[in-house]
Structures are given as structure tokens and as C-alpha cells.
Structure 1
Amino acid sequence: MNNGTADRQVVRFDSVRKVYGSKNPVVALDDVSIGFDRGTFTAVMGPSGSGKSTFLHCAAGLDRPTSGSVHLDGIDLAPLGERALTRLRRERIGFVFQAFNLLPALDVIDNVTLPVRLAGRRPDKAAVRDVLERVGLGGRQGHRPGELSGGQQQRVAIARALITRPAVIFGDEPTGALDTYTASEVLGLLREAVQRWEQTIVMVTHDPVAAAHADRVLFLADGRIVDHLDRPRADEVAERMTHLGVWAGREALR
């Protein structure tokens, strides 16, 4: 790999292996090497038990590989202690989850600025206004999560992920709790963050329609990257997933 390629890669896995347990070991990731360039949108898909969650957790420093290395924004995560990892996640990573994970007692502004305040910094009011306008919540600053629709709550979560200008946003089924129309709006917003603001997004999803908003889809099976699609269409993704399900079932019978 040349230095120019490495410089563009916000997240990089080099021969990552993750094994759980020792008596009856389970290989969750098996020699995974992959890079994610700045300003790209990648979807990660695979059958149940394929290693998607472990992949995301290792990428975000929430779990440590058994072997191999993970670099995030040029930093090797392996030597970092828990305090340094927490600081890195707070400053360089945004998260968007299926369940929104908003604090019900806080209004929109306080939920969005929570990562900044946890880092001990005072939120920049102009930056907060800007990010709320970007996600279409300019008139909702004083509302609490219970006063918002599901789609609006996910927009708050996206604004919270964007406010620190992170190196990467990790999405874990970010549209899983939304109806089709609202999911399309949220995915369009993520797509816009990539195209207009060069944000890097890595999203785990089971939905071929959601995956079709990405630049690239990676398919995991049995802890390995077994296929990929560039500029994917939903029907192509669905077809690959169908084949993967059959393949994974045959592997389980071995």
C-alpha cells in the first residue's frame, strides 16, 4: 500500500482477526484487510452472525482485535488506553444508532451539543445553528425528543454526530426503526453529508434499499469480506444477499 492511499484512508484494517472465547473459540473476524477513503459512504452487510457488529466495534475502538491492527484517522488504536480511546471516539467519531439514543430530558440543542460539552468545550453557537439547518431542524431547537417524530429524532442524532466534525461516522442500522419514506429522507441526508461536506460514513444495514445509497457495499460472511459492489443498485444488493444466505447456511453445515 503506498503512502498516498494510506493518507486518504480514514479507517484501515490490516489482517484483523477477532476470536471470542478460548475453550470453544468463535472466530468473529477472520483476517480482514480493508480501507475506507475520506469522503466515501460504505454499507456493510451480511447474514446474521457474519461479523458485522464486531467489524463496527473494532473499527470504532469499542472492541480490540485478537490480532492485526486498526488505524483511525492515521492513529493505531492498539496502544491506546481506555481514556485515550474514549477521547478519540468523542473527538473523531460520530455514531448514529437505530434507537436514536437521545436523552429525553434534554432539548434538541442540548442533545446535539452533548459530545462537545462532555469534551469540556463550550459549543460554538454558529456551528450549532449551521448543523441544525443542515439537517432541517432549524425551527426545533427547543423541542425535546418526545415532541419529535422518529425521523426528526434521527436527524437530531445525525446533527449530534456531525457537530464535532468527526473523521468518520459509524451507523448501526440507522434507518431500522423508520418507515420507508422517512428512511429515504435520512439516507439522503447522510448522502449529502458525504457529497457536500466530504464526511466519511460506514453503515451496517440489512436493508438493500438503504445500502443502495452508499458508494460501495461490503458483504461479510463467516467473518470474512467475501464480496463487494460499487455504485450498488437495491436489486443487485438483494440478489447478493440471497446468495450469501445460502452460502452461509452451507458453511454452517460443514
Structure 2
Amino acid sequence: MKRTTPRGGAAQVDMRVPGGTGEAVRLDDVRKVYGRGDGSVVALDGLTIGFRAGTFTAVMGPSGSGKSTFLQCAAGLDRPTSGSVRFEGDEITGLGEVALTRLRRERIGFVFQAFNLLPALTVRQNVTLPLRLAGREADPAHVAEVIRRVGLADRAGHRPHELSGGQQQRVAIARALVTRPAVVFGDEPTGALDTRTALEVLALLRESVAETGQTVVMVTHDPVAASHADQVVFLADGRFAGTLDRPSAGQVADRMTHLGAWETGIGGVR
């Protein structure tokens, strides 16, 4: 792990490992400012960070630390005010909207706290929706395998209202995985789930890294969820504030306390 000091003097982190598999996502000196003049808000302040392919990373920080803005910029959902974002080595900062939409449809998966399923569609139809939107033919065998992997083979013809919250999140994960994305971004994917269901969802995300080599970057406030990741990256005031490798929930909670974020996780850790 190599630390660098970009403009502004804030220590950042470069998680590239010599001889490793390369980076799936990289932000270099990314700054994001909302508004202008005295009313402007700096959400990201010269953030430099890279995420190695085939790893599971949790991103944490107090409220207002820049977690959501980081995810939006890294996933091409928002444009940084300055700096560079690279996806599998390709610069995406200057891409037009059509190219960004294609990138998100073909190379990125998303799992949110709100499941965002279409109520009139079955599980299978919700899962294949990204393929249809991209104009791609769905491979029935691949779709069936993805649905089986998330434990819903016997629910493929059901609609969202016939499923539990945990099952709906499983559908959302299958939908994120069906396009075979390089990176899956999660925004509080366990935030609306009970403890047991949340652990099952985290196991699915962990499996997608271990078995298919995908990269998962998950924003969370929950120390227990974060402890399932290979590493935890901490943000504070839009800047890098440290990492933990293979941490316990207690270690994560302790670091968050020192960052001024006293939060309760799915396991009751404070």
C-alpha cells in the first residue's frame, strides 16, 4: 500500500498492489463542490484512491463525509468538479451522457437500500431488465443461474409484493449481477434489512467476489456489514481518513467513534 500527498497536503491512499490484478476503479485528486461562492459545499476534497479488481471494499465515514458523493462520482452517476476518474483504466470523467449510460448498463452493477424493483414485473423480468434496456439478448441459462445463486429459483415467477424484503434485495443483487459487471456498487444495501437477512445479503456479495472475481465497493454506516469486506476505507470531510484490512466489527466501530460517528450496526455494535 502506497500513500501519497496530493495538492492540499491531505494524505491519501493508493491500494494498488505490485504484481496484483490491477485496479477496477481509480479516483485521482477528485474534488466535488456543490453551489458557488459563500454558499458552496465541498463534498470531496482532492480524494485519491484506487480499488483493486476482485476485492470487496466497504467505504465508511460520518454523516457529511462524502460517502454518497464518492459513490456517485466513482460510478459515473455524477461528474467531479475537477480530478480524474478511471474505470478499468479508461478515463470516464469527460465521457458524454450516452457513453456514460452505456458504461453503467454494461460494466457496472448497482444495489441500493431501496430495492427499486418494478412491481408489475416478475423476479425473472426484474432481473433481466438491464439487459432489455441495453438491447441485449438474455441468455436463459445464465439468467436462471444468477437467480439460483441468490436462492430464488422457486420464486422466479413471483412479483415483488409476494416476496419478503430480504428476497427483494436478492432480486436486486441478481439484477446487478446479470450483466456480468466488472464492479458492483452498493449504497447501504443492508440498511433496510434485519440482522439475519443482512448477513445473507453480505454473503452473496462476498460470493460474487470469491467465485466470479467481481469487484464490490459498498458504502455503509454499519460496522458489522463493513467487517465482511477485505478492507474498509474511511472518509471524513471529503478526504481519506485511513483504512483497516480484514477488520472486526469492533475495530470498525472504534475507528468510527474516533471519527465522530457513533452509529448502531445490524449486530448492535456501537
| Normalised-by-shorter TM-score class | over 0.9
- Paired position in structure 2 for 1:244: 259
2:93, 2:218 → 1: CA distance? 23
Question: After the TM superposition, which residues 18-57 of structure 1 pair with which residues of structure 2 at under 5 Å, given as runs?
Answer: 18-23=32-37, 24-57=39-72
1:91 aligns with 2:106: yes
Given candidates 31, 52, 58, the residue that maps to 1:17 is: 31
Partner of 1:252: none
Structure 2 distance, partners of 1:145, 1:180, is 21
Q: Distance between the aligned counterparts of 2:19 and 2:34, measured in 1? A: 32
Instruction: Give the residue type in structure 2 aligned to 1:183.
Output: A
Q: Which residue of 1 aligns with 2:266?
A: none
TM-score relative to the length of structure 1: 0.94
Aligned length: 247
TM-score normalized by the length of structure 2: 0.88
> Could you tell me which of 200, 209, 230 is aligned with 1:215?
230
CA displacement at 1:67 relative to structure 2: 1.0
Say if 1:7 and 1:74, in contact at 8 Å, map to a contact too. no
The answer to whether residue 158 in structure 2 is matched with residue 128 in structure 1 is no
Take 1:83 and 1:4, find their aligned partners in 2: how far apart are those partners? Answer: 35
Task: Supply the distance in 1 between the matched residues of 2:145 and 2:92 (Cα, whole angstroms).
Answer: 32
2:244 is aligned with 1:229: yes
**CA shift for structure 1 position 21:** 1.2
Q: Return the alpha-carbon distance in structure 1 between the equivalents of residues 19 and 220 of structure 2.
A: 26
Q: Compare 18-27 and 154-163 and name the one that shifted more.
A: 18-27
Of 83, 97, 116, the residue aligned with 1:68 is 83
Aligned-pair CA distance for 1:201: 0.3
Are 1:194 and 1:200, in contact at CA under 8 Å, matched by a contact in 2? Answer: yes
Give the one of 182, 188, 194 matched to 2:209: 194
Read off the aligned partner of 1:17 and give its amino acid letter.
R
Structure 2: which amino acid aligns with 1:211? A
Partners of 1:199 and 1:83 in 2: how far apart? 24
Q: Which runs of 5+ in 2 are unaligned?
A: 1-13, 262-270
Q: Which runs of 4+ in 1 moved over 3 A?
A: 1-7
- Summarize deviations over 1:79-130 as a string: whole Å, max 9, x none: 2100110010000000000011100000000000000000111210010011
1:7 to partner: Cα distance: 6.4
Percent identity between the aligned chains?
Answer: 72
Alpha-carbon separation, structure 2, partners of 1:198 and 1:6: 13
CA distance in 2, matches of 1:213, 1:4: 24
Deviation (angstroms), 1:156: 0.4
Secondary structure at 1:229 match in 2: strand
What stretches of structure 1 of length at least 5 have no aligned partner? 247-254
Partner in structure 2 of residue 250 of structure 1: none
Aligned mates of 2:221, 2:28 — CA distance in 1: 25
Cα deviation for residue 229 of structure 1 reads: 0.4
Distance (whole Å) between structure 1 residues aligned to residue 201 and residue 208 of structure 2: 11
Cα distance, 1:133 vs structure 2 = 1.0
Q: Which has the higher contact order (CA 8 A, sep 6+)?
A: 1
Higher helix proportion: 1
Q: Is the 8 A contact 1:31 1:224 kept in 2?
A: yes
**What is the identity, as a one-letter code, of the residue corresponding to 2:32?**
K
C-alpha deviation, 1:3, in angstroms = 11
2:124 counterpart (102, 106, 109): 109
SS of 1:227's equivalent? strand
Q: How does 1:1-12 map to 2 (within 5 A)?
A: 8-12=22-26
> What displacement does 1:209 show?
0.2
